[in-house]
């Protein structure tokens, strides 16, 4: 299976976007999260979580990167059943100084070649390839201003408590609708072990109802929760893509932790134009507004996590003292 798209951008720009898999959650719609397990400069092993036919699937992939040929070969090493093998390549052919042809090839095999399983994999592969190529083209053709449209930042807070109650609060967001400013309800459903779908109902700026959905992946032993927004009913959206992470990091010198809220986002140019016009300062104003909004949302959750964990730690300490005194 091979799909192609022509892009008005240099081959090097396209190769850079394809090679930078850690930013795929905000660059390519099907990708929810990527963990780099190994990297030696020429090849890498990645653990990937991807939407496939509205399901979340995870696998481990080996990639070989060739920046001279503008090519990335990939082969999955650990696959979800019933897929027994899957791989392919990304290749970029220059068609001029600022025009390129991108080709994405996929091959796969399914245990027993059951018709329903083959159709499922083919449908998911075709849909995801089309979505990835379309978004890649849109990003690459904005390459001169892409740095202004991409935003990453983090906020932190110190909590005088161990990791567990902080992580527990962040994992069970749905217990506190006020964890998201303006939310009228939060529902969290377990999609697979360690994978959640969080639905948030909010009142929009104009008083209308708004719904967002995020996929969340928990790493309890590392004190991390990563997430990606996969749906927002607000139109026009200021965000083309948004992913983030909650990280609970123990302090090496004490009993407390530092909680880090990380955000990675790509602005939607149509949304920016709709809200801020075509002026020279439009993107700057949109970046400032977006950062303020995301920071405000993080601060609310961090404040509640701190209150919850420190109250829990205080109650635990009082209980321990009472038991000791008894």
Measured from the Cβ of residue 46, the count of other Cβ atoms closer than 10 Å reads 21
CB-based contacts of 10: which residues, under 8 Å, 6+ apart?
94, 97, 98, 100, 143
Q: What average pLDDT does this structure show over 117-129? A: 93
- pLDDT of 79: 82
Q: How confident is the model at residue 206 (pLDDT cuts 50, 70, 90)?
A: low
User: How confident is the model at residue 123, as a pLDDT?
Assistant: 94
Give the pLDDT of residue 208.
Answer: 78
Task: Label residue 204 by pLDDT band (50, 70, 90).
Answer: low
Residues 57, 303: Cα–Cα separation, whole Å? 33
Question: Which pLDDT band holds residue 203 (cuts at 50, 70, 90)?
Answer: confident
Nearest C-alpha neighbor of 56 from the set 30, 83, 37: 30
Residue 38, beta-bridge partner list = 45
- pLDDT for the residue 315: 62
- Residue 134, pLDDT > 50, answer yes
Q: What pLDDT is recorded for position 316?
A: 55
Q: What's the average model confidence in pLDDT over 41-51? A: 95
User: What is the per-residue pLDDT for 150?
Assistant: 96
pLDDT digits (tens, 9 = 90+) for 287-324: 999 999 999 989 999 999 999 898 877 765 444 444 44
Q: Tell me what the pLDDT averaged over the chain comes to.
A: 90
């Amino acid at each position: 299976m091979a799909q192609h798209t022509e892009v008005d951008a240099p081959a090097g720009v396209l190769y850079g976007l394809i090679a930078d898999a850690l930013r795929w959650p905000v660059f390519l719609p099907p990708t929810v999260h990527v963990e780099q397990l190994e990297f030696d400069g020429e090849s890498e092993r990645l653990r990937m979580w991807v939407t496939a036919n509205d399901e979340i699937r995870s696998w481990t992939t080996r990639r070989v990167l060739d920046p001279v040929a503008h090519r990335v070969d990939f082969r999955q090493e650990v696959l979800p059943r019933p897929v027994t093998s899957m791989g392919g390549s990304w290749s970029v052919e220059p068609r001029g100084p600022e025009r390129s042809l991108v080709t994405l090839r996929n091959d796969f095999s399914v245990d027993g070649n059951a018709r329903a399983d083959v159709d499922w994999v083919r449908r998911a592969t075709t849909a995801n390839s089309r979505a990835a190529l379309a978004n890649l083209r849109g990003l690459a053709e904005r390459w001169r201003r892409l740095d202004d449209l991409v935003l990453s930042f983090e906020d932190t807070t110190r909590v005088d408590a161990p990791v567990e109650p902080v992580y527990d609060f962040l994992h069970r967001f749905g217990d506190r609708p006020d964890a998201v400013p303006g939310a009228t309800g939060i529902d969290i459903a377990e999609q697979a072990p360690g994978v959640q779908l969080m639905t948030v109902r909010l009142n929009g700026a104009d008083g209308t109802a708004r719904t967002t959905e995020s996929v969340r992946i928990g790493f309890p032993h590392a004190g991390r929760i990563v997430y990606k927004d996969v749906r927002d009913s607000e139109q026009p959206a200021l965000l083309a893509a948004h992913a983030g992470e909650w990280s609970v990091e123990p302090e090496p010198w004490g009993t407390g932790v530092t909680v880090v809220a990380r955000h990675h986002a790509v602005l939607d140019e149509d949304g920016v134009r709709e809200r801020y016009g075509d002026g020279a300062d439009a993107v700057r104003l949109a970046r400032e507004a977006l950062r303020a909004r995301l920071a405000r949302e993080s601060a609310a959750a961090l404040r509640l996590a701190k209150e919850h964990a420190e109250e829990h730690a205080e109650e635990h300490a009082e209980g321990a003292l009472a038991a000791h005194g008894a």
